[in-house]
Amino acid sequence: MGASMVSTYLPLFFMVLVQLGLAGLNVMSKLTMASGMSPYVLLAYRNFFAAAFLAPIAYIIESATLNQVLYFVGLKYSRPTVASALNNTLPAVTFLLAALLKTELVSGRAGRAKVAGTAVCVAGSMLMTFYRGPLVRTLASPIHWPYVQGTMAAEAAAHAGGNTVVLGAVLVIGSNVAWAVWFIIQKNLSRSFPSPYTSTALMAVIASVQCAAIAGAAERRISAWDLGFDIRLLGALYAGIVASGMVCTVMSWCIQERGPVFVSMFSPLMLIVVAVVGWAILGEKTHIGSVIGAVLIVVGLYAVLWGKGKDLDAVAAAAAIGSGGDEEMGGAVFGADDTTLRSPSCRKVAA
């Protein structure tokens, strides 16, 4: 009884912690870059710390750079809430690319649900990108942090009068496309090299080298790499250890315990947490276009997840009939094409 309750509720508890950790990534990274740290330098430090954290885990347990650059630069020019909402379009983007490549089913009720969900996600992302609408009236935040207020005000003044919000949203969507391509490629990698911790650690090492090269080309100032006992060091450590290392480890375990559908269902929680923290600490203002767009994206996300869940159920049922054994049935479930169900949160492990 006790073991059953642990296996039932422990993944639930861990996934809530994962979404809280990823929500902190958006807010912490935004504040770090607003303080003057280059997104390219932050990415280089993030992957370095992530590789250092994941390497011993991979050793003990098991004895894609483009999307990262687009996402963090997009986050710099956008708002954490918008970036978090647009992240939820990742399963829809992945399904769209997979359908174009003829690797994803589009027939039947499940197929129609995935197509409809993708269309709704696209509509929501376009609405968030190109329409702001009236300002939503909210209560004043009871938190007054002078350092944060000064930093965010300076960044707002630097980006005033331009289309930086639209640029940021477009870059975040572009990062989803890049990450969806990686998921499709990674599907074959996971079959030939089924060691998620090792592959993620190796990817973090390679990404840290690539990001360091990009940062060196984009930031010629040596001072851009300075790390003191301030928000820059805290932001880099948080992005690398918490948002990449710990999140990767916990989410991989939850996928093994409960499957990809369960993990993906928690993605909208990060949007809620980021919206609350962004309002309370960063003083974010919410517009009606962002609210409607976020609702559409979440509705579309769950439509895609429902359709994909039906696909996995059908694969599992067919495997059970064909094999008559629990072992082969389990292999069919985890061997099924679950590329679309890669959680938007998981992309931040290497995203």
Evaluate if residue 3 carries a pLDDT over 80.
no
Residues 6+ apart with CB under 8 A from 132: 165, 287, 288, 289, 290
Residues 6+ apart with CB under 8 A from 46: 208, 211, 236, 239, 240, 243, 244
Evaluate if residue 326 carries a pLDDT over 60.
no
Task: Give the pLDDT of residue 159.
Answer: 63
78-106 residue pLDDT tens? 888 788 888 788 888 888 888 887 777 77
Nearest to 236 by CA among 98, 84, 35: 35
- What average pLDDT does the segment 125-130 reach? 82
Nearest to 271 by CA among 173, 344, 340: 344
Which tokens is 255 given? Answer: 């996928």
- CA 282 to each of CA 237, 246, 279, 290: distance values in angstroms, whole numbers, following the listed order: 20, 25, 6, 17
Task: Give the pLDDT of residue 170.
Answer: 85
Evaluate if residue 324 carries a pLDDT over 70.
no
Q: Which is more confidently placed, 173 or 346?
A: 173
Evaluate if residue 335 carries a pLDDT over 50.
no
Radius of gyration of the chain (CA): 20
Q: Which is more confidently placed, 171 or 68?
A: 171
Q: Which is more confidently placed, 303 or 144?
A: 303
- pTM for this prediction: 0.69
Evaluate if residue 315 carries a pLDDT over 50.
yes
| Residue 170 and residue 74 in contact, taking contact as beta carbons nearer than 8 Å | yes
253-312 residue pLDDT tens? 787 777 666 777 787 888 888 888 888 888 888 889 888 988 998 998 888 888 888 887
250-265 residue pLDDT tens? 877 787 777 666 777 7
- What average pLDDT does the segment 127-151 reach? 81
Dihedral angle, C-alpha 20, 285, 76, 231, nearest 10 °: -60
Task: Give the pLDDT of residue 77.
Answer: 80
| Residue 212 and residue 40 in contact, taking contact as beta carbons nearer than 8 Å | no
Lowest mean pLDDT of 47-51, 178-182, 278-282, name the range. 178-182
- What average pLDDT does the segment 29-56 reach? 85
Evaluate if residue 190 carries a pLDDT over 50.
yes
Task: Give the pLDDT of residue 280.
Answer: 84
Task: Give the pLDDT of residue 348.
Answer: 47
> What does DSSP assign to residue 137?
P
